[in-house]
Every structure is written in structure tokens, then in C-alpha cells.
Structure 1
């Protein structure tokens, strides 16, 4: 944003506001300032001006409200935000003409501004609340509340103003004109015939033209979807309350006198419902990650640990004893070693466990990853693996234990890192299948806006949401997912739940591929874990309730046995990631517009854009 040469006129001022851009680094200062509405000759704008600079303390980092302000996706800083070359914090301006929408969040303490290009700013109100600023905004810009998401407000553009005026002059509608016009515009693309007939029926009394009778579902209670050539009623997502974490008392209750876990399924059910008490994670994670068998005795586990310790150090010695000449003649090994060195030096360096120079835990992180190369040389090391190991080592604080837990974790997600990316493409396709049933409007919208390939979910899947949640939440999320309840693909339902929550923002802002990718990345550290887990379980129950009518694709995703029926349109050939045509069985790199499946083709550039695993 350019710096105006003129002095703007302050129309209203709100003090005690912290502003964070999506591209502000975690280790930069937080500035408290004023959030103003300012008028210039070139137009009105929202303007944030810093007052004082204060470094966030360790205690603030632990405060839930401060963590919301401190959350962001790391990207390159623009000229309109962050400290300048002299260390001063810049003024941030958002022209009304560039403002797309805004959202009130976190009980009215947060206001999230979204611009036309997808840039996001988060304002945290310390002395007042977001509602007070929105009330001030009403006098200067026209906006309306989304009916899909009551916390979201959409800025009206010139086209909508013209439509409002035209319909208002006709004086045809009893309901609020603005609401009706926007309902018409939003529905026209998805339901052209029904929407047009509904609108024209309003004119019947004036023009006395008989209209066809069309029954249109309100969509308030149930949504009609097409599955296997039949109509299925999806009931509303049921509430699924979360529970308390696994306690020491419960854990001891499920152990017999020899130390065996007598009812692993009951333990997993408790963990799925509420996670694990932090003090128990060191022990329980070893069972969840198949380091210890559930039916092993205490003596068995002591013997197993001794055996696994010896095995670990044998493999570690293999790479540590490799001579320079061996390395020079082993390019694959050399490349993996170089990549591990780079990634270790930038993994979670803001976390206290890995911060500072010459940190011994970084050396352990490096040693474990290098040893894993010797353990699984076919897979070796791929960027992102250090993200998965980091919380495990932090918790275990033991090289051997961390290694074998990491092995168990990689056994669950290793297909994410395979070079042909078939595993990733399959999962992206499955997310699209889920949306086609649970949120068909959103699935259609993504298809029309070059995002039906779901590439923007790539980072979520690759490192299992590691970049989307803070250190505390990611531990809870992972242990929930490791239970494989209620199905092994629960992480895909989690994706569907997040996208369901963001549906209104994506659709009502008319985001295209770039803006969708940017918005999804900006969700990092802003996703509420308990609510999302509850919604994901609710979606699962939604689907289970109509299980007999689901396609085999969906049944497989949610862990049900396929039903014998004729081949379904465009089932994915897992062997090469291509789409199989239902008519002749031939492989096609592209799909037809009508089959509703994911289009991959050769668009690997978009695939890489969706990855976005930059550390800085």
C-alpha cells in the first residue's frame, strides 16, 4: 500500500487495538495502536496506527487470547506492515474499495478483515470489542450479514447496490430487499431454474402470467443430495460433545497385575473423546504408536526396550561410520543428509525445546532422522518428516523412545511422502467425494473456481495439521487420530469439517484458486480444535445414518464395506492416481465436467503451490 502525501481526516478512532497481518513473524513485536476510519481525497479507508511497542512475554504466549493474536501463517512481509528498516512499526491501511468482508471472532474480541486479493488482517481489541468498531463502520460502508455464517459480513459492491435500487423501485418483495437480492444472486448459479422461477413468481400478480409450479426446498432443516441416483435426506450435523482426557486412574484400571492393557478399545474410546492427560502421554503414546504391544506385560516391555535400544544404535552406527569416499559415491544418501541438515536447523526453532544456538535437542532430531534413513532407505527422508518428529522428541526427551514412536507414526502416514504422490492424490480425491455429499454447493463452487483438485489441503494432509495448530493442540489432535476412531480416515472428515466452517467465507467472497489457497493457509493457528473435532464426528454420524444409500467411495472412506453394485463413475485407480472412465475403463488424466470428481491431470505446479511448507 502506498504512503499518501496528504494528511487524512480521522472520522472515528478506537484505541487499544493490536493488529497482526497473516505475514507477520511470530518473533516480531506486537504493537498496540488505534484502529481508525480515515478519509483521504482518494477515498475512505480503515487505518491502524501504532502507539507503543511491547514485546510479548512468555506468559502472554500461554494466554489463550494472546495466542489468538500471535497466530498466523508465515510469508514474506509486504511494505505496508511490520517494522520498517529503522525498526518502527508501519501504519496499515485498507481501502474500503479493497475490503471484501470481515468476521467477528472469539466472542467479539477479534475482527478479521479480508481484502479482495485474499490478504487477511486480525485486529484484537483490548479495551473495547469488535462490535463497537462495526457499529462505527455502518455509517461509512454498506455491508450485510451472511446467512450461512452469522459472524461473517460481506461488503456490498456497486453491482449489488444497483440491483438493490432496481428491485426496491419495483416494490415487489415483502422481505428485506437487500436480503432477497443477495439470496437471488447467490442461488442463481447453483439452482438456475428454481431460482429464476421463484423470482419470476413474485411478478405473477402484476403481469398475470401463469408460472410452472416448482417446489423448492428451504434447506433450513434438511438438505437433499443426489447419491447413487437416489435422493437422500441428510439430517443436520448432530452435536458431539467432547469428553475429559484419559486419567491416571482410568489408565491403571485397564491394567492387570502383569501390566497388560485389558481393554485397549475402551482406552482408545476415552482418548478419542478427550485425549490424554499430559502426564500420561509419555507412556500411552508408545502403545498408540505400536512401540509397545497392548497385550505386553511390564517385563515384556523392559525386554523390548533393551532390544530396540540395541537395534537403534546399530543403525545409527551405520551412517556415522560411513567414510567420506562412501558418501561421495552415494548421491541419494548425500542428498538426504543435506536436506535433513537444512530442515533440522529451521524446525520449531521458536519452541523453547529447540531454541538457541548449539541446542543438543537439534542434534538428537538430526540423529533420529538420519537413523530413519538407514531404517527405511526406500523412503529415506522427505521434507515434512521433521515436523512429525519434533513434538514426539519434545515429549519423549529420549532419542531411542522418540525414534521408535516416530517409526510407528511414519507407518501410519508413509504414503504421504512417496515420490509418486498417489497416496496424497487419493486423499485429496476422497475429500472432494466427501464434500460432494456433505456440502455439494461448496464442492460445485470449488470445481468452478479451479480448486476441485483440493490442492489447498495438501499441507493439512502431509504433516497431519502440524502447521495448523499450536504445540498443545497438535498433541491432542494426533493422539485422537492415532486411535483410528471412528474410522481410519477421520482426518479426512476433519478436513471436511474445517471447509464446512469456511464455506461462507470462500463462497460469498467469490474467492478463486489463489485466494482460496491464501485463506486456507491463513487459518493456521486460528482453527478451534474441540469444535472442529465435534463437527467432524457429527459429519461421520450424518453419513452413517444414510449408509445404505452411500456410494462405495464414501463407504470406503468412512470404514464401511463396499456394497456389490455396478461400477461407479470415475473411481480412482490407486495404482497411478488417474481417473478410470466408467464407460471403457481407460485411464484419463482429466475428468469430464459432469462426473464431479477431482481433476488432477498434469497440474503439478498447483500441487506444489498447495504444499507451501516454507519455514520462514
Structure 2
């Protein structure tokens, strides 16, 4: 770490004065890995004529710039993080420098034993930095010297920016001019501060009734006005919590129906030994439910994934023998290549008269060329795996032409193809996956809107404070979660984590809509940041996008399961929520007569509205919100 006065370039040729510099700082973005050094660089604070700026520059970027046409301190695109520069051979990443105006910092978070710092900006975007060497204390000292901050009472590692240090401080200075107290009444002042904590409403009314008085008070030398004002401001932030009896008033904290959240832990993944023990001599899985429970709690070990995924995705029936599966592979292979031949043998003249097919083919070609190109499996030019990706998607068009291809499907196929490394196996597993999420790709987006409506219903039942906040900030439509639901968090986790998450979801435990509880778990973690920073829809949207590859999967899964357990223990849980998360049998909707209990999906009968007075409506009318939906769709995806 260095504090220097060297010159830096900004906005063309302007020279700035570098007041702080720290080397060995890693930009934690969508390409970050713990052992990766390609994101290493220098973090500086530089003074320009328009104010101080926080700047990060990768080591590879030259420090010499002769008035370039485009400022080398270009802001990182926090919404569309898929824009990358890929070399022909290995998919190298060109790291873009970061340039942030100091006054744009809304708050910051200190994580991981004070080695990681995340800057949250006023527009909802964020930048996370990992300090490989030394401490971040010097940098946070600079922040505190430039910005007025206070520690959040909701989240101890969150620090909120309350103003600029060089701004005037009218609040502090104004208390000496409010004329609230009698002359030489120091005791009355401090009695007011004390009373404010214990009798907030009465004290406030009594005090501000004196605003019309014209008597000035004087503070003794050992009690300067700034100290008294600071204490008073702090007291305003320390009002009593919970139910407090006061004279003539009753301060009530809104109660919650949610029981205490239990502690949930993860277990080891399904092992090869457990899998072999589950098979009889004919290769039949004796207890599929037990296998699913193990997968839900811990996932699947890597060598076993390519086998078990075929069962989870319906390629192989759970009640099939080894001999029957051999026959299935042969038949599925014949079916696949027959469908592939249909589009491979289509002539150009046929394509010219088949506009729908031609449009789908063009869209697939574009998406294939930008799907996971930074991964070794798809990196480089003329990669044969890209051809496999293209062929499988084109064959799916022939398999399901009503749906065809919609942007985003390539994201779902990519991890499957990487794992299977076989065209036929990958195709039929992809078919099974699409059978689960096909409603996500409806032309009218009805399936997506229904799920986002259900998500808000879950939030309303679990956390009324968050639900109220989102509703008041035009975010109850949950459109900022569009990308999460559309491709089941594919862009939020790295490839290993997304495989674990997907196989957990494919167990349908504890319910088919567990992905909505995953959303709720993430929002539960981010709640304080959204509320403390007073983010609106646009800022929430950008903040959620910036969480990509910054979410801890294990803690998220534990939280989601714990929330489900909380719901399970609630006595007055609305019927619609019970059906949504599989706590009520299908027969309660009137659609089933057999009385068997089963989990319910969003696309089935989980969203009916019975004439139950205790039920709540979780379907919202979005007919007047199409503009917001289009905005979210544009910012959230592609």
C-alpha cells in the first residue's frame, strides 16, 4: 500500500493527483476464481478537478496513455457482463479498468475476515475487490476521510454513506439554533436525550411544541454543541426495539408468524459406493426416494454425475433394469439421428419458404457463438464442441417445433453437454430438462410472470417488511429476478456450482418449486442492503445482476431449506402458499379425487384461489406493467 502524489490521466488528458494506491487488489467479477491472477491490479484514489475517484486498473493495462479517444478508465459494464474479448486459442479475458466517482458510493461491505470489500453504487451496481496483500483498513480509512459513514444496525459489515465530508453539516449546526431549551439548561438537554430513548413519542411532541420559542440555550464548555448534536442524532437511531410500554403510548413491533429459523447443514454428495448399494443384481434402483434425498442434501460426486443425471432427467426410468436401459439407449440413438437427418437434408429452397425455421436456425447460430466461450470446452475458433451444441439445438427444433428455440436454451444445454460429452445423451437429457422448464419460454411470458407472482407471495408470507419495501419501490412484480428463474441461476454460479444446484432441484425435494425458495434465500441475504440503500427498481435490478458469481451456494441452499422448514411449522400458513411448496395435497384444489398428496408446480394447480377466507391472493395483475417487464427483460438477460 502506498499513499503518493503521482499523476494520473482522466477524461482525456487531465492530470489527477494520486492520493492512495494499493497493489495486489483483485477485481472479483464474473470471471473471478480464488486461484486466478488475471484479475490482479492496483486500486487507487485519485483527486481530479471534479472530485475524487476510486480507480482499479489491471496489471496488464499500460499506465501510459497519450490522450486516447476512449478513456482507459472505462466503467465496467455491470449489466451485460457477457461482453468479453476471447483470444483465438484459449479464451483469454481482457479485464476492463474500473472508474467510480467517490460521490457515487452509496455504501460498502467488508467481508471474509476483512480481505474483501464491495462498493455499492447509487445506481445499484457494485464492484467487489479482494485485497491479496496487507489490510483493507488503509483504504477504508480513506473512504471515511472522504465520506461520512455510519455502520448499519441491520448488518454489521455494511457501512452506509450519509454524505460527503466536504459538505456543510446543517443538521449538526442547526440543533444549537432550534431554541428548544431554556437558558443554561444543560440538564434539560441531556434529559431530553435520555427521554427520547425511553419515551420517544411523548418526548418528541413535547420538544417540538417548543419550536416557536425564541429562547437560546448555551452549552457549557465541557459539552460543545457538536457533541450534544451528535448524541442527539445517535439517539434518533437507537429507539427501543420490540414492544415497549410508555406513558400513554404503546410502541408495537409488527409481529411475524414465522417460527425461529432452524440451523440446516449440508451433507456429503452421493458416492459411488452408495449408488452401487442401491442397485440389485439386475441394475434396478431399489429405493429411488432415498437416492434423491441424498442428492438433495449433498449433490452427486463428479464421477457419478453423468450416470445419475440420466435418471433425474427422465432419460432412464428409475424402475428400469440394466438390460432395459441398453435397449433405451439404442432406441433413443436411432430417434435422435432420424430427427437430425430431417434438418440436415433440408435444401436451401425449402429454407427460403420456411421463415420460422430459418429464423430459429439464425438465432441458434448467434447464441452458440457466444455461449460459455470462456470455458475450455467451448474456447477457441473452429471448436467441434460448438458444432455439437448447434446440432443438438437444431435437432430439438425438429423434436419440439411448437417451442423450437428461444434465447436462453443454449445456457441450459451447455453444462449438460460438458458433462455428457456425447451428442445423443446430451440431447435426451436436455429434452428432460426442457420438459421441466418449457413454460419459462412461453411467447407471452405467462409462465415467467406466474412464477414471479408466486415468488412475491412467498416473500409476503415470510418477510412482510421486505414485501412492503418492494411494493413501495415499484418492485413487487419481481421482474429483477427474471434471469434467475428463466435459466435457473445458470449465470449466477460457476459451472461446478450450477451442476450441484440443478441436480438438487431435479430431485423435486422438498417441493417442485424449491427454486423459488432459492430466490427467497438470496433476497433474504440481500434484504438489508436493498433497504438501507433505499434502492428503487432500477437500482435493485442492477444490484441483483451484480451478484453473478458472488453468491455462496451452500449457504443459499441451507437458508432455502431452513425457510421451507419454517413454513412447515407455521399453523396459519395460507392455503395458496401450502400448495405452492407442496405442503397441501392436490385434492385441496378440487382437481384431484384420489386424495394422494404430492408436490405442486407453478404450472399445475399451485396457484388456484379457493374460497378460503384465510387464503391470500398471490396473483397480481401485470397488464399495466408491460413496460417494466420489458425493461427487466432487457437488463436481465442477454
With normalisation by structure 1, the TM-score equals 0.79
C-alpha separation in 1, matches of 2:278 and 2:168: 62
Q: Match for residue 126 of structure 2?
A: 120
2:632 is aligned with 1:610? yes
Q: Match for residue 499 of structure 2?
A: 475
Q: Match for residue 527 of structure 2?
A: 503
C-alpha separation in 1, matches of 2:589 and 2:428: 43
- Deviation per residue, 1:222-256 (Å, 9 max, x gap): x723xxxxxx3x12322110110000001111111
| CA drift at 1:182 | 4.2
Q: Match for residue 586 of structure 1?
A: none
Q: Match for residue 380 of structure 2?
A: 356
Instruction: Return 5+ residue gaps in structure 2 as ranges.
Output: 1-8, 63-75, 85-92, 179-188, 198-230, 591-601
- Deviation per residue, 1:582-605 (Å, 9 max, x gap): 99xxxxxxxxxx988645124333
C-alpha separation in 1, matches of 2:498 and 2:354: 36
| CA drift at 1:21 | 6.8
Q: Match for residue 212 of structure 1?
A: 248
1:173 to 189, 193, 197: 193
C-alpha separation in 2, matches of 1:525 and 1:518: 14
Instruction: Return 5+ residue gaps in structure 1 as ranges.
Output: 55-69, 79-86, 202-210, 218-222, 226-231, 567-572, 584-593
2:140 is aligned with 1:134? yes
2:582 is aligned with 1:559? yes
C-alpha separation in 2, matches of 1:257 and 1:575: 38
- Deviation per residue, 1:460-499 (Å, 9 max, x gap): 1110000111111100100000000111100000000001
- Deviation per residue, 1:6-32 (Å, 9 max, x gap): 6555544433223467899xxx99464
1:224 to 242, 252, 255: 255
Map 1:498-537 onto structure 2 (within 5 A): 498-537=522-561
Map 1:130-529 onto structure 2 (within 5 A): 130-157=136-163, 162=170, 170-171=189-190, 172-174=192-194, 177-182=232-237, 212-217=248-253, 224-225=255-256, 232=257, 234-529=258-553
Is residue 116–residue 129 contact of structure 2 (8 Å, CA) maintained in 1? yes
Instruction: Provide the aligned length of Structure 1 versus Structure 2.
Output: 542
1:98 to 90, 99, 104: 104
SS in 2 for 1:430: helix
C-alpha separation in 2, matches of 1:120 and 1:316: 45
Q: Match for residue 11 of structure 2?
A: 3
Distance 1:157 1:282, change over 3 A: same
SS in 2 for 1:408: helix
Distance 1:321 1:448, change over 3 A: same
Coordinate RMSD, CA, aligned: 3.8
2:566 is aligned with 1:545? no
SS in 1 for 2:379: coil
SS in 2 for 1:284: helix
Is residue 79–residue 635 contact of structure 2 (8 Å, CA) maintained in 1? no
Distance 1:130 1:72, change over 3 A: farther
SS in 2 for 1:310: helix
C-alpha separation in 2, matches of 1:459 and 1:442: 20
Distance 1:495 1:164, change over 3 A: farther
SS in 2 for 1:138: helix
| CA drift at 1:449 | 1.1
Is residue 23–residue 72 contact of structure 1 (8 Å, CA) maintained in 2? no
Distance 1:51 1:337, change over 3 A: closer
Distance 1:353 1:395, change over 3 A: same
C-alpha separation in 1, matches of 2:551 and 2:238: 28
| CA drift at 1:561 | 1.7
Is residue 31–residue 53 contact of structure 1 (8 Å, CA) maintained in 2? no
- Deviation per residue, 1:77-96 (Å, 9 max, x gap): 89xxxxxxxx9988744333
| CA drift at 1:380 | 1.0
C-alpha separation in 2, matches of 1:373 and 1:449: 41
C-alpha separation in 2, matches of 1:613 and 1:407: 28
Is residue 110–residue 129 contact of structure 1 (8 Å, CA) maintained in 2? no
| CA drift at 1:74 | 3.3
Is residue 23–residue 77 contact of structure 1 (8 Å, CA) maintained in 2? no
SS in 2 for 1:349: coil
Structure whose alpha-carbon radius of gyration is higher? 2
- Deviation per residue, 1:442-473 (Å, 9 max, x gap): 11111111111100111111100001111111
SS in 2 for 1:354: coil
Is residue 589–residue 610 contact of structure 2 (8 Å, CA) maintained in 1? no
| CA drift at 1:297 | 0.7
Distance 1:613 1:136, change over 3 A: closer
SS in 2 for 1:365: helix
SS in 1 for 2:127: strand
Q: Match for residue 23 of structure 2?
A: 15
With normalisation by structure 2, the TM-score equals 0.76
Distance 1:580 1:254, change over 3 A: closer
Q: Match for residue 82 of structure 1?
A: none
Is residue 21–residue 44 contact of structure 2 (8 Å, CA) maintained in 1? yes
C-alpha separation in 1, matches of 2:513 and 2:174: 50
2:622 to 587, 592, 600: 600
- Deviation per residue, 1:193-237 (Å, 9 max, x gap): x99x99xx6xxxxxxxxx5321423xxxxx723xxxxxx3x1232
